Structure 1
Amino acid sequence: MSALFTPMTLRGVTFRNRIFVSPMCQYSSREGMPTDWHLVHLGSRAVGGAGLVMVEATAVSPEGRISPDDSGIWDDRHAEGFAPVTRFIAEQGAVPGIQLAHAGRKASTDLPWRGGLPLGPESRGWQPVAPSPLPFAPGHPVPRELSAAELDDVVRQFREGAGRALAAGFRVVEIHMAHGYLLHEFLSPLSNRRTDEYGGSLENRLRFPLRVARAVREAWPAELPLFVRISATDWVEGGWDPGQSVVLARHLKEAGVDLVDCSAGFLTPDAVIPFGPGYQTPFAAAIRREAGIATGAVGFITQPAQAEQIVATGLADAVLLAREMLRDPYWPLHAARVLGADLAWPVQYERAKLP
């Protein structure tokens, strides 16, 4: 039997297989609201046989968006808007998930296909916020340093976002602590120069992200799993690194997190990242082994045999596919045939199923 197509249970949720759709920004929302694009985009991946379909980085506040066209979860209207999406995903046999996010100093940027440059207030933008007043890159605005009271507000926003995610019908929440966004900015000494209880030592830099994790866990039902995405390394000397990631993962496990989604990089624009097939999988393997927590591997996973090997050999408990799912929404159906697994096709498509 294929390990990739073996069901996986976390808390009270069973995933039909270990193929998860990674959260991918679509830049197609209006005032944070999902649109028909989201229903079709996410729904087609559920039809395609994935075990988990995760909504893109979804901002817990308006200023937490990467762009003005990101999805949001800061208003009850957003929960209502996502309800048809989660319902359709679940009807196809997949688990609906959502990634809760705050972009921090990387907020208020234009769409990637328009260059992704910073936007000012005159162009639907706003001033970003961060742990410290350090811009992401030359030409980017200096973010405003968050006060202790504002940090309390951010914790509340994540907690309330989890509550709205539940009301919308999601069964998995993932907290975004990766890719140079706000919570990653607190973790890395390259972006966190605070002198209060949230900066300096590793213990202090962990403090705020762990506050968020605990708050979300308290708001999220005990029978539903909680994920966290991390950047396991900044790929920069003196930055966040795999050893610190293991320490973080141990604390996340104690806080009630069920799976660490292991990505890497994107805190700084000058990092030299060794892109290649499965290049981040060793981080998932190390964290799984050394922190004793389930992990997901992500990054340049494209072939069925590659995904099977990752799960079968215990390098990770699941694989998260991003670009490959954009190329082929039905990748799990095709992978099942390659690996000799019996994955049910939608009855509407069965006449096209090959033996």
Structure 2
Amino acid sequence: MSALFEPYTLRELTIPNRVWMAPMCQYSAAPDGPEAGVPHDWHFAHYAARAAGGTGLILTEATAVSPEGRISPYDLGLWNDTQVEAFRRITRFLVAQGTVPGVQLAHAGRKASTAQPWKGGEPVGADAHGWTPLAPSAVPFKEGHVVPEELTVEQIREIVGRFGDAARRALAAGFEVVEVHGAHGYLVNEFLSPHSNHRTDAYGGSYENRTRFALEVVDAVRAVWPEDKPVFFRISATDWLEEGGWSVDDTVRFARDLQAHGVDLLDVSTGGNVADARIPTGPGYQVPFAARVKAETNLPVAAVGLITDAEQAEKIIANGEADAVLLGRELLRNPSWARHAARELGGEVRVPDQYHRSV
């Protein structure tokens, strides 16, 4: 059997294959009012198509734990029960197709309140449904961006509680995996990196202080998430700075801390916290970071980043570089990528009865 299409079990949850969908924002929810942050027909069709195409696990886009935690005013959220009810429609369908539904919980920090990418992605103000972002320190993401409001300790504790509340709602919505978004320059990542965290209190300075918020968030999520279901953590393994940033050595060290706090898998990405970082992209360019964590710790990992063809994905799993692959753009191009890859590699995926004529 193809390694890519072997089932994978974490705690008591078995995922039918190692082809997983990475979180990708759709920027398509209502920006305000009672429908703010609520998934609708676009989101249902988007996720349903990838489930029908054989994807083993689907992680939703970055789903905000509070209104001010959205990347844009058009992001999804899990801060109220209206959102829970709408997500149930999606998770029911995914489960019916044999796909595991997962949710990525997020707070955008200083990169919040921006326009949709196809409208430039720059910060927006109150006249475009925007707000003042929050961050560990009053340091903007880049020149020309809004200076964020530095969080007080009381506000930090409130956000930690928001993650726990959102995880509780995620369970009620039918999700079976929850992932804490600690990557790409958003709030958790901002605390981790000395590039963006200039605090001098218990949440800044030393490695132990800079990782405190992330571990408190993980603890809040794990406290309400069932013991038989896994918790993931997405990390940017490096800021791509020679000095003064978060490094792969930090990531390996932190992976052990996360595992001790109940995290079951590290979703390994890179970058996003330094606006002008030079990133040498290419096919599978982030896989070595996942491979290093897997080689030096006992924490399972998933690899992501320009993984596009079946043979490439198969080798990553077969060579032991990662336990699963997360596809992004390739699944946007081809919702049935998993089914096509299974045919190429001799693996098997569940095919909906309605699509049997296509096998």
Given the two structures, how large is their TM-score scaled by the length of structure 1? 0.99
Whole-Å separation in 1 of the counterparts to 2:213 and 2:59:
24
Q: Aligned residue for 1:10?
A: 10
Amino acid at match of 1:255: H
Displacement of 1:344 in angstroms is 2.9
Q: Secondary structure at the match of 1:4?
A: helix
- Contact (CA 8 Å) 2:105, 2:163: kept in 1 or not? yes
Whole-Å separation in 2 of the counterparts to 1:278 and 1:7:
22
Q: Aligned residue for 2:74?
A: 69
1:318 to 321, 324, 331: 324
Q: Aligned residue for 2:38?
A: 33
Whole-Å separation in 2 of the counterparts to 1:173 and 1:90:
15
Whole-Å separation in 2 of the counterparts to 1:197 and 1:253:
22
Q: Does 1:115 align with 2:111?
A: no
Q: Aligned residue for 1:267?
A: 273
Q: Secondary structure at the match of 2:312?
A: helix
Amino acid at match of 1:119: V
Amino acid at match of 2:152: S
Q: Aligned residue for 1:83?
A: 88
Q: Does 1:339 align with 2:345?
A: yes
How many residue pairs match? The answer is 353
1:252 to 242, 247, 258: 258
Q: Secondary structure at the match of 1:253?
A: helix
- Matches for 1:159-170 after TM superposition, within 5 Å: 159-170=164-175
Whole-Å separation in 2 of the counterparts to 1:183 and 1:99:
13
Q: Aligned residue for 2:138?
A: 133
Amino acid at match of 2:14: T
Which deviates further from its counterpart, 184-193 or 74-83?
A: 74-83
Amino acid at match of 2:216: R
Amino acid at match of 2:66: S
Q: Aligned residue for 2:218?
A: 213
Amino acid at match of 2:16: R
- Contact (CA 8 Å) 2:97, 2:350: kept in 1 or not? no
User: Unmatched 5+ residue regions in structure 1?
Assistant: none
Displacement of 1:343 in angstroms is 2.2
Aligned-pair identity (%): 58
Displacement of 1:122 in angstroms is 2.0
Q: Aligned residue for 1:19?
A: 19
Q: Aligned residue for 1:196?
A: 201
Amino acid at match of 1:236: L
Q: Deviations over 1:79-112 (max 9, x none)?
A: 1110000000000000000000000000000000
Whole-Å separation in 2 of the counterparts to 1:255 and 1:132:
26
Displacement of 1:254 in angstroms is 0.3
Displacement of 1:342 in angstroms is 2.5
Q: Does 1:102 align with 2:94?
A: no
User: Unmatched 5+ residue regions in structure 2?
Assistant: 31-35
1:283 to 262, 285, 289: 289
Q: Aligned residue for 2:248?
A: 242
